[in-house]
Amino acid sequence: MGAAVQLALGALFGMVLTGTGAADFDAMVRMFMFDEAHLFLLAAITTLAAAVGIALLLRSPLGEGVRALPRRVHRGSMLGGVIFGVGWGLSGSCPGTALAQIGSGHTVALFTAAGVLLGNGLFERVIAGRFGLSRDACN
C-alpha cells in the first residue's frame, strides 16, 4: 500500500477518533471514572466489527493468502496490559488517540507519543529477548 493511501487512511482514522470523542481527554477521564459509558461501548462495537470483518475476509476471495494464526499468551502479557492501562489512565490517551490529539492541536500528547516510542525501544532492547520475541514474531 502506498504512503499516500496510508496517510489518508490514518487521517480518516484520526478524524473518526476525534469525531466520536475518543481523542478527548475529558471523555477519557469520564470513562475511567465510570461517569460515562460511550467510549466503552465504542470500543466494544469496534472490536466486534473488526472480529466480524476479519472472519468475513478470511472466508472471501479477498482473503487469499491472509493468515490468522493463533498466538499463545506469554507471561508478559498481563504486566504489559497493566502498564498500558496505567499509561492510558495517566495520559488520557492510547497510541492511536495520541496521534489524533496531536493532529487536532493538543501538543501535550507529544509526551504520550514520546512514551510510546520510548517504550517500544526499551521493549526491543531489554525485554523482547527474555520472552523469545523479536520483530520477526509479528510477520
pLDDT, position 44: 93
pLDDT, position 73: 78
pLDDT, position 29: 85
On the 0-12 / 13-18 / 19+ scale of CB atoms within 10 A, 118 is: exposed
Stretches where the chain sits below pLDDT 50 are: 139
| Alpha carbons 30 and 80: distance in angstroms, whole number | 24
